[in-house]
């Protein structure tokens, strides 16, 4: 009787190990080939994605189709000084061979005003304009005023065949392709497409 109980216990342990191993493999496959966990750090995508929000980004979608304008993407960035990698969440504004520029604080693509009403919160934009006096412009060093910083339009910037221009939705705090130290990104830097927010529950859903 004891032997039978011992054998049953051994079989239960083996079954548990099998289930655990299979589950671990499924999780690894999911995390490395289908979707990958991502945490939003900072306020560059406010109010679309807030600091601390947690979810998954779609990895496999980047292999099946090309990124499109307005897509939210997770981008792999490498610090040129330390070599450390980090993941930035941004939005694609410019596609390969596009010419991007900021005129009178508005974004133009190939000479046409870009309609951003689908993802730029107008109330948030107005608040930024009232508080800072600009939204899409950048803070630059002036060559005419002893290197003092000025708020200015930028561009035109013409992208190459494999380049994309990315920006955060919260333009006044976002470090993105407007910054000469960042510049346009290439397709192989796009790690994931979209962010499905799991937490907080009030923001649950696909972005």
Residues that are catalytic: 44, 90
CB 172, CB 135: distance < 8 Å:
yes
Q: Residue 205 contacts by C-beta under 8 Å, 6 or more apart in sequence?
A: 196, 197
Task: Report the alpha-carbon distance of residue 165 to residue 49 in Å, rounded.
Answer: 19
CA 196 → CA 26, 37, 181, 184, distances in Å?
A: 19, 9, 29, 25
Backbone angles phi, psi at 138, to 5 degrees: -125, 160
């Amino acid at each position: 009787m004891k032997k039978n109980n011992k054998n049953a216990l051994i079989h239960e342990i083996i079954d548990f190990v099998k289930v655990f191993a299979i589950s671990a493999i499924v999780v690894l496959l999911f995390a490395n080939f289908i979707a990958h966990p991502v945490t939003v750090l900072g306020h560059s995508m406010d109010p679309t994605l807030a600091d601390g929000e947690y979810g998954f980004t779609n990895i496999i979608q980047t292999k099946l189709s090309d990124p499109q304008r307005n897509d939210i993407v997770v981008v792999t960035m490498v610090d040129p000084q330390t070599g450390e990698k980090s993941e930035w969440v941004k939005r694609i504004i410019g596609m390969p061979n596009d010419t991007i520029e900021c005129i009178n604080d508005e974004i133009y693509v190939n000479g046409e005003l870009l309609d951003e009403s689908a993802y730029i919160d107008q109330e948030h934009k107005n608040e930024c304009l009232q508080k800072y006096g600009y939204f899409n412009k950048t803070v630059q060093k002036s060559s005419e005023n002893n290197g003092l910083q000025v708020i200015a339009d930028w561009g035109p910037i013409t992208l190459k065949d494999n380049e994309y221009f990315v920006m955060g939705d919260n333009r006044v705090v976002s470090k993105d392709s407007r910054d000469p130290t960042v510049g346009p990104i290439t397709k192989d830097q796009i790690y994931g497409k979209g962010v499905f927010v799991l937490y907080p529950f009030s923001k649950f859903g696909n972005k």
